[in-house]
Amino acid sequence: EVQLVESGGGLVQPGGSLRLSCAASGFTVSSNYMSWVRQAPGKGLEWVSVIYSGGSTYYADSVKGRFTISRDNSKNTLYLQMNSLRAEDTAVYYCARARGEQQLAFDYWGQGTLVTVSS
Amino acid sequence: DIQMTQSPSSLSASVGDRVTITCQASQDISNYLNWYQQKPGKAPKLLIYDASNLETGVPSRFSGSGSGTDFTFTISSLQPEDIATYYCQQYDNLPHFGGGTKVEIK
């Protein structure tokens, strides 16, 4: 059974850093396209970042230069390193698996982890 | 960036009604368009991929159509459990979600 479990969210001050983790089971993270998607309180979905099976990474303009997506193949885990955090980064962060290579339809999602950026 | 305009932002319909949501892309995205359902406090769920393909296990009352810039999502007979917010998402370039449509029961 495919499962994604996020962790690492919490309260952080503006300008601070946080690393989110997404532990996967039932499939191999490195063989799939994996993304982070966030949702600010009461708002819609916003795509944040993707890592392709080949290792290429891409980011939304809103986080480029501040966030880094990565994976640990030995732990079958996806990460999102978030630096220089701002109040507008406050959101529930979901990791999601793409349905197939070059098919960015997200068929499995984690339960989400809440990041709150506030002093 | 490709922008997605989703409408309406909310709607109210009766059980059994046909419900239609549209999504318009700012440029041609072929059929690279997906639809999701999100219930409060839950992660989104993929319903339709590549504009018209029903994800495994999704009831057949859900359907999608369109290509290029104009897409439609339909619930043929609204059920109480369909109360949720629905999002379109394109991936012609990098992924981008529409603004969402909140569906309520009249």
Q: Is the model's pLDDT at B89 over the cut of 90?
A: yes
For the segment A4-62, what is each residue's pLDDT rounded down to a tens digit? Answer: 999 999 999 999 999 999 999 999 999 999 999 999 999 999 999 999 999 999 999 99
- Rounded CA-CA distance B71/B47 in Å is 14
Select from A67, A104, A108 the residue whose CB has the most chain B CBs within 10 Å, as the one to mutate to test that interface. Answer: A104
Q: Given A50, A105, A112, which is nearest B43 (Cβ)?
A: A112
Chain B nearest CA to A47, separation (Å): 6
Rounded to 5°, angle at Cα A54 from A106 and A8:
55
For the segment B1-55, what is each residue's pLDDT rounded down to a tens digit? Answer: 899 999 999 999 999 999 999 999 999 999 999 999 999 999 999 999 999 999 9
Q: Please judge whether A50 and B43 are an interchain contact, meaning their C-beta atoms are less than 8 angstroms apart.
A: no
Give the single-character DSSP code of B35: E
Cβ neighbour number for residue A9 with a 10 Å cutoff: 17
- Rounded CA-CA distance A89/B42 in Å is 19
The per-residue pLDDT for A102 is 83
